[in-house]
Structure 1
């Protein structure tokens, strides 16, 4: 007996040592890609002023007129956008979940389209839809007068577009709560003769209200960190928000403005942190415990209402993209759309443009390398997290989520401050190179792979790994031969989500790109900013097609994925 126990202990010791080494390497990875940049950013905001006053730089920045104006603009546009997101998201979640719809899957995908399509592309699509030369509204006599300012170049316009873009966040949260609704609860109300409308507003809505609030807070967090919409709509309309003010300060003053923009980023991070804390409080304190039972299944069909929902969803998701595509098919700005004016000249022009081709190649390379490395990190991290619970792993999980939760502008600034000076030992600075974009992407998008992998790891059978460990199998063999096959579909789905998101990323790239290292998002923004709307539309359409192809591939593989991995698949 003693000899057997001694042998088992000897066999377990190398495994334990290997896991400690693995955790140490993961901590080092997160420290380099996340902890150091964020710590460097926040420390620079606490510098003394020019006269030596403690916190003088922060106080001067916070009290400046431009900061107060940008803060006001951020709060106005974010709060108004949350109203739009909540009203539309809750209504669509109720309709999709509580009605028997024949086209539920297609409707769900289209409802989530504003979240799938990049922010700057959606903003550009809405600009083309509401512009004076709108190929859809102008023939109907509904377009703005020629020479007039686009009505979206306003606080209300920014709030509208951001509200529609972030509406799926509310929709997802509320739909998840409605899918957990017990059927007995609704059936009992029906037996009592309560009208369907009162069941929805008096019984169901109060139950899912915590999810409504949580989804609204997520939408608020996304709105304050949004750069694409305020940049394309706010800069022409002279509406300042914190993300665009940071961009303009860095463009105008460069790294010399690091302390000021770090303070602005700290304000954004603080607002995001408050929203996250409030969301957690809502989820833990206000959540309504529901009795166990069969989930509610919709039985009431409503053909007329389904048709109205389709009209609304098409207006929100496809009509702006149709306007964008029609603009891209015009040979030049100001040409009236018609069968005799349709042309592929803009697509040929952008594909013949060396800078645009390089931007597509850069974005694709960045997205693929980010997805691959994130998979390599997420798999062993999920392995040790699912088998060992300790404070280091819990803290690591929180730190990993930070770059995804806080606004992307904050992450980009941290990268600039952390890697502006030459690296120790090698004496080379990666600022202005592709490498700084790679590190920023790795920090930002790791959670997209880690979430589905961690969910799959929790459902894996730990006895297989334990048996392999007892028989002396090494750590690497246990991960590759036993753990990886079970979670590989989830890891692949997470990697596809990373590629879809990173392919058209703008917030990080707008602050970190350099000549020769352009990305698709930067090209769309630059072309539109220069006034070349048709070329910007062509690039946006091509990038959207790439994203939709990836979404189709992910959907085809959805049967092998854990439930909830793809938000548009039930």
Structure 2
């Protein structure tokens, strides 16, 4: 507020006190407060960012939903209506027509059945491992606390490609799998479809149970168990009547998150389901987009989005309800480790076996497969480096080793600069959002920014990609068609990663008092200078977090890119999937190893730089 504003307010207050002027009404006070708040740069920045995210997040989703109810280009003759007219045709075709089973209901059933199986297996294995790591004297306990969550650091379809390398049969042609190369032909149900997809997703998402359930177990007071045992309770009664009720919110939250992740998972279902036409909702959506069934794709994407929103809103409700399930402790509360006694080696062996199945075997399988001329033959003469650095190979298109292929380096360069630029932008925008949410005097603006930047978290990645395709596939006003360019990838990545970046920014700004800024303001620094010389230097750690988390996620992401990328804008994930389609197994596996290495070591570097530990929680 300026000096003249202060003088005017003082004069008005004096006149009002003498009775010369009537007291201002509530509307006048509100109007005056709004006028003053508009003079604050924070409010202006908030309005601009709110408009930006409305266009980048809300408008694509609305555009996609509108496509479900309007006649699309190419369907005019079939529907008997002009393009753009309102219609229920796509809803009827997706939900009620003779082919609705193939389009929606069977993929929905497959999605639910795979999710239920993955949740059941991951809860069973993860609960045991969480208890062993959190509450026992497990041999190598500290090492296992980090090692068992490595599957979450790696792309899920890494394990799918390892599975096909081992179990692939002649159903889809190409090179045989290892088992077939050794004389045993795996049946289709083991090589493809529901069983391998369920097993892989279960192993990939078991870390969710270990992290969330294990965190709750670490906070559990051991004295409650002791009291129950003193009163005569048996171990089973202690587990079911004391521990489980207190752990239920964390366990259910992990289950809901796993379901939401399975709902949008594309890569695993694409690699293992496509050969036997086992469609889930994500692959059904991809098929419809690939066949230019835009209206049906919009209905399927909207359904995925709705189910994802409902599941994550349930999780938010359960997190709030979890406050009812608390124990009141003090300095006397204990987290005593249980002595496994003679079962110590057995328990460590079980944990080691899970690590071997979920990390060791897949990575080793992929690595060895890139060195074998003939799959499944382990004699020394069968090993070669040709698929990495060879020349004049006897393949149709890929004539050199993957490291000598220009397409790999183009994809790697695209990955680094596209994901890097998007992550840097989302990190800066996340800090700005945090600044506005915490500092602006306009509460509705603060609430809107908080909610709009969290919205992409409720939408599975493949549905969000479909929304972007709906908005940017054609020219709209002054915005040209962006499909096929890097701009649509950058914009989609920025919007998709805002939940992580904005939460990092909000958390950081809530911990920063106003005093440093006020001191700079008194010294004559303007808003931009205060941001560049005070806020950003102080919050550089949070800014790094807001950049690194989206970067790592973007490096291993597939669902967003598979819809929006074209060969000229290939990134490493889409390039590897293209090699899978061409049955260049060794080359595809080599690229996946590169992606897995970037994701894993990037996560470790992020933990070092941000001084966090993924083993102690999911973080951002």
Task: Give the TM-score normalised by structure 1.
Answer: 0.89
Determine helix, strand or coil for the equivalent of 2:384. coil
Structure 1 position 456 matched with structure 2 position 495: no
Report the number of matched residues. Answer: 557
Q: Which residue of 1 aligns with 2:305?
A: 269
Distance 1:88 1:233 in 2: 23
Q: Which residue of 2 aligns with 1:527?
A: 579
Structure 1 residues 301-338: Cα deviation after superposition (integer angstroms, max 9, x where no partner): 4432234322222222222111111112213x435134
Is the contact between residue 430 and residue 546 of structure 2 (CA under 8 Å) also seen in structure 1?
Answer: no
Q: Which residue of 1 aligns with 2:6?
A: 6
Determine helix, strand or coil for the equivalent of 2:40. helix
Distance 1:16 1:567 in 2: 41
Residue pairs, 1:113-128, within 5 angstroms? 113-128=150-165
Q: Which residue of 1 aligns with 2:79?
A: 50
The structure-2 alpha-carbon separation of the partners of 1:155 and 1:360, relative to structure 1 and needing over 3 Å to count, comes to: same
Q: Which residue of 2 aligns with 1:18?
A: 41
Q: Which residue of 2 aligns with 1:219?
A: 258
Is the contact between residue 134 and residue 323 of structure 1 (CA under 8 Å) also seen in structure 2?
Answer: no
Structure 1 position 313 matched with structure 2 position 355: yes
The structure-2 alpha-carbon separation of the partners of 1:8 and 1:198, relative to structure 1 and needing over 3 Å to count, comes to: farther
Q: Which of these residues, 49, 52, 61, is aligned with residue 29 of structure 1? A: 52
Is the contact between residue 329 and residue 345 of structure 1 (CA under 8 Å) also seen in structure 2?
Answer: yes
Structure 1 residues 484-522: Cα deviation after superposition (integer angstroms, max 9, x where no partner): 233321221332222221113211111111131111111
Q: Which residue of 2 aligns with 1:397?
A: 450
Stretch moving more, 207-216 or 527-536: 527-536
The structure-2 alpha-carbon separation of the partners of 1:555 and 1:193, relative to structure 1 and needing over 3 Å to count, comes to: farther
Q: Which residue of 2 aligns with 1:418?
A: 471
Q: Which of these residues, 158, 164, 167, is aligned with residue 197 of structure 2? A: 158
Is the contact between residue 521 and residue 530 of structure 2 (CA under 8 Å) also seen in structure 1?
Answer: yes
Structure 1 residues 410-457: Cα deviation after superposition (integer angstroms, max 9, x where no partner): 11111111011224236x321111111111111111222222332233
Residue pairs, 1:410-559, within 5 angstroms? 410-425=463-478, 428-469=480-521, 473-559=525-611
Stretch moving more, 74-83 or 481-490: 481-490
Distance 1:490 1:131 in 2: 45
Is the contact between residue 82 and residue 216 of structure 1 (CA under 8 Å) also seen in structure 2?
Answer: yes
Distance 2:616 2:446 in 1: 26
The structure-2 alpha-carbon separation of the partners of 1:347 and 1:320, relative to structure 1 and needing over 3 Å to count, comes to: same
Distance 2:446 2:95 in 1: 36
Is the contact between residue 607 and residue 614 of structure 2 (CA under 8 Å) also seen in structure 1?
Answer: no
Distance 2:261 2:387 in 1: 33
The structure-2 alpha-carbon separation of the partners of 1:419 and 1:144, relative to structure 1 and needing over 3 Å to count, comes to: farther
Structure 1 residues 117-176: Cα deviation after superposition (integer angstroms, max 9, x where no partner): 1122222123224446666x789xxx8823754714121221111122222223222123
Structure 1 residues 357-393: Cα deviation after superposition (integer angstroms, max 9, x where no partner): 2111111111111111011101111112123472232
Stretch moving more, 230-239 or 14-23: 14-23
Distance 1:325 1:115 in 2: 19
Residue pairs, 1:31-430, within 5 angstroms? 31-47=54-70, 50=79, 54-63=87-96, 64-66=100-102, 67-101=104-138, 103-131=140-168, 145-146=184-185, 148-149=187-188, 151-189=190-228, 198-253=237-292, 257-285=293-321, 287-294=324-331, 296-302=334-340, 303-304=344-345, 305-331=347-373, 333-334=374-375, 336-348=377-389, 349-388=401-440, 390-425=443-478, 428-430=480-482
Is the contact between residue 363 and residue 504 of structure 1 (CA under 8 Å) also seen in structure 2?
Answer: no
Is the contact between residue 246 and residue 264 of structure 1 (CA under 8 Å) also seen in structure 2?
Answer: yes
Distance 2:531 2:224 in 1: 45
The structure-2 alpha-carbon separation of the partners of 1:31 and 1:465, relative to structure 1 and needing over 3 Å to count, comes to: same
CA RMSD of aligned residues (A): 3.1
Q: Which residue of 1 aligns with 2:17?
A: none
Distance 2:159 2:414 in 1: 22
Determine helix, strand or coil for the equivalent of 2:275. coil
Q: Which runs of 5+ in 1 are unaligned?
A: none
Distance 1:565 1:312 in 2: 16
Distance 2:412 2:261 in 1: 26
Distance 1:380 1:8 in 2: 32
Distance 1:457 1:214 in 2: 27
Distance 2:554 2:115 in 1: 23
Determine helix, strand or coil for the equivalent of 1:235. helix
Task: Give the TM-score normalised by structure 2.
Answer: 0.82
